[in-house]
A and B are shown apart, each in its own frame.
Chain A
Amino acid sequence: MPGLTTAPDTRNGGAVVVERADLQHLLTALQRRGYTVVGPTVREGAIVYDHLSTVEDLPIGWTDEQDGGTYRLKRRGDDAVFGYAVGPYSWKRFLFPPVQRLWQATREDGSFTIQAEAEPAPRYAFIGVRSCELQAIAVQDKVFMGGHYTDPGYQARREGLFVVAANCMVAGGTCFCVSMGTGPAVSAGYDLALTEILEGESHYFVMEVGSELGAAVLAVVPHRAAGETDVERAHRVVACTAEHMGRSMETAGIRDLLIDNYEHPNWQQVADRCLSCGNCTMVCPTCFCTNTEDVTDLTGTTAERRRVWDSCFTTSFSYLHGGSVRQTVKSRYRQWMTHKLATWFDQFGTSGCVGCGRCITWCPVGIDITAEVRAMREDGAATRDHEEDGDAHA
């Protein structure tokens, strides 16, 4: 292989350099192994995640400008491949599809039978997964695989997954992974992790190996050992990103803060602005609520059960005989935010928020959960001794 001096360490943890020109080899290697390669691409004014055929599909030379209720793509002055933050899509749409058939049922002889699904799970390779997104996948792992029940579809997709992570070189206008402790450097859960370096004429990726599978894939991609300079440059990229976060969330005691303030007047102030459109739940990488739909064909002989993404912002979400439990926008916004930032701890032992900022960017009226938490802290929030809190779980 061209450019090899010393035999590079491609075992777990070793760092190598892959030239920008050789990035296509990585995609090809994954395609040859039968992976469906998925990654960022520009479409309709946004960077979304979709199937990738070649490196040319990547958002080369694009960046995004984000703020509350604002998202614009802009041309960069260079050809960086991963020079943007995150877009409206998250990887959950592949691990946890928005509309999915669970099973079919067929009428026969006065009774009916149920047919389970038979398709094997797709094997995805994700290109360019950010630290916050890796954390979000870990959060959803806990939801779908960490309890008494396991979602077999999620587990199957998850087990077949290959992750090429990317350390962020750009901090988004609404990003706050630093204050959430979720980035910008990737820490775990990847097979390969790259940091893009553009220095003068040089354009390459410092690539770290995170698993044996990652090492095996990397072995067929042209690369050289990473030198001290390369590694240092990579660290500087990440450090610079960490210094430019658009937002920050004060997380000390946040669970108790929200649990103790269900009746805080701030909720109504947010509700006066919130459209209850549910955008935040659609773009949030950890939101997992779904609905089940039962449909039949016109003859009524075949029925299907589908699972579809749902949002706690709909009026029917909390429907109980007689009406919805959460009739006001205030109660629905409160449900979303207290779940994401507080009761998620009770349920799964972590925060539900990874600091990606999508909910702030994609809210049509720019509601900012970091600002809402700040407002609650500053506006005389109630506090209560939580030592005697029993576990609400039996």
Chain B
Amino acid sequence: MATELEKGVAVAPGVADPMLPELYRIERVGRETGDTFTLELEPLYGGRALSFGAGQFTMLYAFGVGEVPISISGDPTRPGRLVHTIRDVGTVTHALAALKKGDTVGVRGPFGICWPVEDAEGGDLVLIPGGIGLAPLRPALYHVLAHRDRYNRVFVLYGARTPQDLLYHRELQRWRSHLDVEVAVTVDRASAAWHGNVGVVTTLIPRAAFDPTRTTAMICGPEVMMRFVALELQKREVAPENIHISMERNMKCAIGFCGHCQFGPTFICKDGPVFRYDRVSGFLGIREV
């Protein structure tokens, strides 16, 4: 029997097919940086806005091209438009970058484990985004600002490649002007027109006056960056159980069936993408896991 395409089977009524996308219409396209843009989506046929937790992601489908996992970067406390900030870096994201207001995309989700914003209550909170890592962390910050009295001191330590790669400029200014959020920004390289900090994001940590004995840290960025930030936090005596990172791997199904996103014993799609650092630090240290 040669391998032929088999048609799938009908799903029993009332049973959800987790591989079937919902249709959403693009209501707004915003340009963030040279290669990054934000889509604001609403369900094509109306209905409830998708409710999600900070740190979760969806699989976005561009017709005929494919799917890609993208973190939700909107406000989880006010579900309205579904917001995704996307970097044009591959075939599918390139196709999404070509879409305009009014176009349709497919959405599956939300998937994944959230940032532990509730567990962090009562202490200091340090958010450390790197590059586009601010997009998956922004929902956590929205949640915190909506419940500001539940947290002690709140820090956002943001590192990016260049000033042109900083996301959400206006919001950064707004958060800075909040008297109760301490925002520090640094870039790896800049021209003289930049009057802010130049240096890797770890250089912001020694000067952030959080209390390491009661701090929750959430790091999101390239894996190398998360590793050295975690190390720096531990130098400040933040316990590894209080450090959380968001991992990435190749993802095809987002529901634990395709096997691609395995990282040691975990599936990034359903055991992550947010992980407690001490639970994965062993595998982070092994190459090609």
A372 to chain B, nearest CB (A): 18
- Please tell me if the beta carbons of A291 and B252 are within 8 angstroms of each other in the complex: yes
Shortest CB distance A189–B (Å): 21
Interface-located stretch among B12-20, B186-194, B200-208: B12-20
A100 within 8 A of B: yes
Q: How far is the CB of B185 from chain A (nearest CB, A)?
A: 24
Q: Which of A103-111, A221-229, A362-370 contacts B (4 or more CB under 8 A)?
A: A103-111
**Which residues in B have their C-beta under 8 angstroms from that of A111?**
23, 25, 44, 103-104
* CA–CA, A277 and B88, complex, Å: 33
Complex: A263 Cα to B23 Cα, angstroms = 46
Among A118, A152, A290, A326, the residue within 8 A (CB) of B288 is A326
Instruction: Decide yes or no whether B274 CB sits under 8 A from chain A.
Output: yes
- Render B1-39 as a binary contact track against A, CB cut-off 8 A, 1 for contact: 101111111111001011111010100000000000000
Give A300 to B63 CA distance when docked, in angstroms: 9
B255 touches A292 (CB 8 A): no
Q: Assuming A119-B7, A392-B271, is B258 touching A289 (CB within 8 A)?
A: yes
Contacts of A288 in B (CB 8 A): 257, 259
CA distance A102 to B61 in the complex (A): 14
Task: Select which of B3, B4, B266, B270 is within 8 A of A148 by beta carbon.
Answer: B270
B-chain residues with CB within 8 Å of residue A50 when the two chains form the complex:
1
Whether the Cβ atoms of A118 and B10 lie closer than 8 Å is yes
Dominant secondary structure at the A interface? mixed
User: Are B64 and A149 within 8 A (Cβ)?
Assistant: no
Interface stretch of the complex, out of A20-28, A169-177, A209-217, A315-323: A315-323
- Name A328's contact: one of B18, B265, B288 (CB within 8 Å): B288
Selected from B4, B10, B279, the residue in CB contact (under 8 A) with A392 is B279
Alpha-carbon separation in the docked complex, A330 to B267 (Å): 21
Q: Which chain A residues lie closer than 8 Å to B9 at the CB level?
A: 117, 119-122, 152-153, 156-157
For the side of the interface on B, what is the size category? 35 or more
Q: Is the CB of B265 within 8 A of A343?
A: yes
Per the bound structure, the CA–CA distance linking A92 and B275 in Å amounts to: 33
Flag whether A65 is at the interface (Cβ < 8 A): no
**A331-B288 contact in complex given A101-B5, A320-B248, A392-B264, C-beta closer than 8 Å:** yes
- A290–B260 alpha-carbon span in the complex (Å): 8
Q: Which residues of A contact B (CB under 8 A)?
A: 48, 50-51, 97-103, 105, 107, 110-114, 116-122, 143-144, 147-153, 156-157, 259, 262-263, 288-292, 294-296, 300, 303, 305-307, 310, 312, 317-321, 325-328, 330-331, 335, 339, 342-343, 346-347, 390-394
Query: A97-B6, A289-B260, A294-B61 provided; 5 other pairs, C-beta below 8 A?
Result: A110-B102, A152-B11, A310-B260, A318-B260, A335-B289
23 residue pairs from A and B, CB less than 8 Å apart: A99-B6, A102-B19, A110-B104, A111-B23, A111-B44, A114-B20, A117-B10, A120-B10, A147-B256, A149-B255, A150-B15, A152-B11, A153-B9, A262-B289, A289-B260, A292-B253, A294-B66, A295-B64, A305-B19, A317-B250, A325-B250, A392-B264, A394-B275
